[in-house]
Structure 1
Amino acid sequence: MKKWNLIIDVEKCENCNNCFLSTKDEHVGNDFPGYAAPQPLHGHEWIHIERKVRGSGHMVDAAYCVQTCNHCDNAPCVKAGRGAVTKRNDGIVIIDPEKARGRRDIVSSCPYGAIWWNDQLQLPQKWIFDAHLLDAGWREPRCVQSCPTGVFRSLKISDDEMADIAKREQLEVLRSELGTRPRVYYRNLWRFSKWFIGGSVIGDSPDEIRCLEGATVALRKNGKNIATASTDVYGDFKFDNLDPVPTKYQIKVTHKDYKSMEFDALVDSDENCFIGDIRLSV
């Protein structure tokens, strides 16, 4: 059986919020019986974007992670809903706008914080994958259509096909340790979840001080080489996609015109991974 899935590419998101706005445009003031009651104008973010800033000094980057209902196959909200929340055969999770009225407990059942409480209607609400549009023949949800940078890709395929794509494209899900089996997958999630270590190599001689292009930087852990980089025209190097745990690395910097340098570097948080200037002498 074919089921809906959504792939979100963190690398492509520029925080334009078109996905958020298109969902608001679709649901604010619009009642879709059997699918969803009207979304409030303010307060609800059925699709929201979280920002992650990494680094310091001149080596800083920002990543944006779109988050929403994951339409989990093992959804806690379905269990908590006791008939008020259902999982459709096509994989979409729906909170019944009548049966769920007054059920504020459903909001706290979601470990991702993707369910919102409508005070006026006394109703838990979330993004419904625009199921009302898909059932009417649309090929994709509005958030997919409205994105100018191609962040989203919606697929209605079998679970085996989706598993093959996830493996081949190295897709991840949010908080896999929860065992909820989300149907929303992420590409390049490391931009949001992993750490980096970087720095700038400077050549220091009696004649000049300059950024060193083409220096070789080796990253080691427990004495074993795990990655190698070459500095750019500004003397910068960067090792990314590192496990987000405090780790002591060894860094060795070499250049044909300067003395080599080797030192330890402790990476203990994603806010403290730029080690600054490394000066090589002649």
Structure 2
Amino acid sequence: MNKRLGLVIDQERCIGCEACTVACKIENNSTSHWIQVETLNVTQKDTPSGKFPDLKMEWLPRLCNHCSNPPCVGVCPNDALVKREDGPVILIEENCDGCQACLNACPYNVIHFNEQNNIIEKCHLCVHRIDKGLDPFCVICCEGQAIYFGDFNDPNSEVSQIVKNRETFKLKPEAGTEPSIFYCPPMPRRKL
């Protein structure tokens, strides 16, 4: 059986520091934000929602979902996006002509266009690292230790155990893309 590599992101542990975003930009020498950390349920960035003492802040790191059924791959007229057998959706840069068809096809809005280079950019799950047996750089640099990497087809892997034993969700399940990024929602806050 092939591997199905992906991530679990624990919103309970995410502190919204954006270390994953910075790590990604450094590791890939990119000008784009391949990972975007959104602040949820607030009216103003970095301002908690609710009324004291029941305040809360939640963050949602968003990146390529490395879908099992990636719509971006099918619409590319130049075969610039490829789904690897082990899961990651990667860009073959020399095939990309900058047509941006993939941007419109992605339901997660996580593919970026680099105008300077006339090419798209996206998370590739640090395949240059995982091919050497290393974790993606965002996993290593996460201050809250909120990002877990592994093989969903291995029932004993940490990511499989988290999905089996905790409440998790995928973004936009109605899109039918079968993402390889799962999220653990934050726990309900106790009343003081």
**TM-score calculated relative to the size of structure 1:** 0.59
Greater strand share, structure number = 1
1:26 corresponding residue in structure 2: 27
Identity of aligned residues (%): 29
2:173 corresponding residue in structure 1: 176
1:68 corresponding residue in structure 2: 63
Equivalent residue in structure 2 for 1:112, among 88, 108, 115: 108
1:166 corresponding residue in structure 2: 163
What secondary structure is seen at the aligned counterpart in 2 of 1:117?
Answer: strand
Greater helix share, structure number = 2
**What is the count of residue pairs matched by the alignment?**
181
1:215 corresponding residue in structure 2: none
2 CA distance for matches of 1:94 and 1:4? 13
Trace 1:44-123 onto structure 2 (pairs within 5 A): 44-53=32-41, 55-58=49-52, 59-82=54-77, 83-123=79-119
2 CA distance for matches of 1:165 and 1:107? 31
Query: For the pair shown, which has the larger CA radius of gyration, 1 or 2?
Result: 1
Equivalent residue in structure 2 for 1:146, among 141, 154, 162: 141
Gapped regions of structure 2 (runs ≥ 5): 43-48
Is 1:17–2:18 an aligned residue pair?
Answer: yes
Q: Residues 16 and 163 (structure 1 numbering): CA distance in 2 closer, same or farther, change over 3 Å?
A: closer
**Cα-Cα RMSD:** 2.2
Tell me, yes or no, if the aligned pair for 1:78 and 1:86 is still in contact at 8 Å. yes
Tell me, yes or no, if the aligned pair for 1:71 and 1:92 is still in contact at 8 Å. yes
Tell me, yes or no, if the aligned pair for 1:48 and 1:67 is still in contact at 8 Å. yes
2:6 corresponding residue in structure 1: 5
Amino acid at match of 1:6: L
Tell me, yes or no, if the aligned pair for 1:53 and 1:60 is still in contact at 8 Å. no
2 CA distance for matches of 1:49 and 1:165? 22
Trace 1:239-278 onto structure 2 (pairs within 5 A): none
User: Shift of residue 50 of structure 1?
Assistant: 0.4
Amino acid at match of 2:68: D
1 CA distance for matches of 2:83 and 2:38? 27
Q: Residues 177 and 190 (structure 1 numbering): CA distance in 2 closer, same or farther, change over 3 Å?
A: farther
2 CA distance for matches of 1:46 and 1:63? 20
